Amino acid sequence: MSRVDEKLKSWATPRQAEYIDALNQHGSLRKAASSLGINHQMIVKGVAAVQKRAATQGYSPEHDMTRTVPEPFVVRGVSTYYNKEGKPSGQWVKSRMDDARREQLIREAFEAMSEELPRLPALHKPEITETALCNLYTLTDCHVGMLAWHKEGGADWDLRIAERTLLDCFERLLLNSPRAAVAVVNQLGDFLHSDGLTPVTPTSGHVLDQDGRFSKVVQAAIRILRRVVDLALMRHDKVVVLMAEGNHDMASSVWLRCMFKALYENEPRVSVIDTELPYYVHRHGNTMLAFHHGHLSKNDALPLIFAAQYPEVWGKTTKRYCHTGHRHHVEEKEHPGMTIVQHPTLSARDAYAARGGWISERQATSITYHSEYGQVARNTVTPEMVS
């Protein structure tokens, strides 16, 4: 067989580089496999994977592709022009940033920036709490930064209204709920309406109605969530914070998680759920609390997903509840082994929702769970109650 291009080793793992060296040394696929003590198909698949990875960076000489692009970019397209002799006479190489690598770079940047954040001092614990109880406070699809007009959607919504409404409603829930030892601040995704300087949805690119510059949106979001966590600390022994990924704030959920983990690093009573997968879990004794925004999996599929993703927590609990948002309306259904609770939103309808004819009650709910018996109480608040 012909020699394998040594330049391919630039895109190979250490093991794949061994495959290439063995092939070039022995000149035969089966001899190379025998020298490494593996099946020859592993070498075939390994070299093919390297060739594919190299091609995404622009290197595939057999196709006249030799102009590579640097990481974190990948080739989006190559246009080669040939002369009368059939030889390349010109070439256009179009590239784009690799989505997975871009996400990794964003995460690394956020983690680096969070190292410089000042840490908040610890607050005094409340005097009396009930150790068996856990209050779950859910804020989902708050869409901070959205601009809504009452003549279209029935109610106004902007940065000022969002901050006032969310804090007043959370405080009302906090005061009306039992003095549980544990609180879960369940920010279930889509807390920010947009995910960057351009007011569009991250995946589909739909243009959004946004109130002000993105920096103002970020500042308001941080103020609201810091106040929420601090209020929870004043009433509960322990506060578990979730900053879930939504379809509107995929990148922002990363920096929110990194930021709040750093901010409360010196507060032993705060823990931030830190996982890269958008499926989250908290165990409270015999009760399993699971969370997913709802943008990637349908509700009916969630029990099996969480049973497979968290088998140890599933096996050690008998009361299991999964909380979702995304669809902006209430839905609750008991499945074998788990109840799915879909939460509504406190935010008003934007033009997109109003023109689509989607109507739902605006509210937020705190649910109290017992470490042995599961759900034992609920409290609900609406914007009208605090207006």
Q: Do both 277 and 382 map to the same domain?
A: yes
My answer on whether 146 and 236 are in the same domain is: yes
Concatenated DSSP letters of 172-187:
HHHHHS--EEEEEEEE
Task: Give the integer Cα–Cα distance in Å for 80 and 87.
Answer: 10
Question: Taking the CA of residue 334 as centre, how many other CA atoms within 13 Å lie in the half-sphere pointing to its CB?
Answer: 2
Average pLDDT value over all residues in the chain: 90
pTM of the model as a whole: 0.73
Structure tokens at 296: 């990637």
Q: Are strands 130-139 and 180-187 parallel, antiparallel or unpaired?
A: parallel
Do residue 260 and residue 151 come from a single domain?
Answer: yes
For the four alpha carbons of 106, 224, 159 and 216, in that order, the dihedral sign comes to negative
DSSP H helical segments within the chain, as ranges?
A: 14-26, 29-36, 40-56, 99-114, 150-153, 159-176, 214-235, 250-263, 302-309, 311-315, 351-355, 383-386
Residues 232 and 372 in one domain: yes
User: 175 near 279, Cβ under 8 Å?
Assistant: no
338-342 β-sheet, strand order: 280-284, 287-291, 319-324, 338-342, 331-335
Q: Are residues 52 and 129 in the same domain?
A: no
| Residue 78 backbone phi and psi in degrees, to 5 | -130, 130
Residue 182 confidence class, pLDDT cut points 50, 70, 90? very high
- Percent of the chain scored above 90 by pLDDT? 58
- How far apart, in whole angstroms, are the C-alpha atoms of residue 327 and residue 344? 7
Please state the rounded mean pLDDT for residues 105-115.
Answer: 59
Residues 137 and 28 in one domain: no
Instruction: Output the pLDDT for position 237.
Output: 96
Q: Which of 13, 28, 56 is the last residue of a domain?
A: 56
Among the listed ranges 88-102, 115-129, 351-365, which one has the minimum average pLDDT value? Answer: 88-102
In a domain, 230, yes or no: yes
- Residue at 241 is within a domain: yes
pLDDT digits (tens, 9 = 90+) for 279-323: 999 999 999 999 999 999 999 999 999 999 999 999 999 999 999
Q: Give me the number of domains the chain comprises.
A: 2
Helix or strand (DSSP H, E) at 368: strand 364-370
At 312 the pLDDT is 97
Range of the structural domain that residue 14 is part of: 1-56
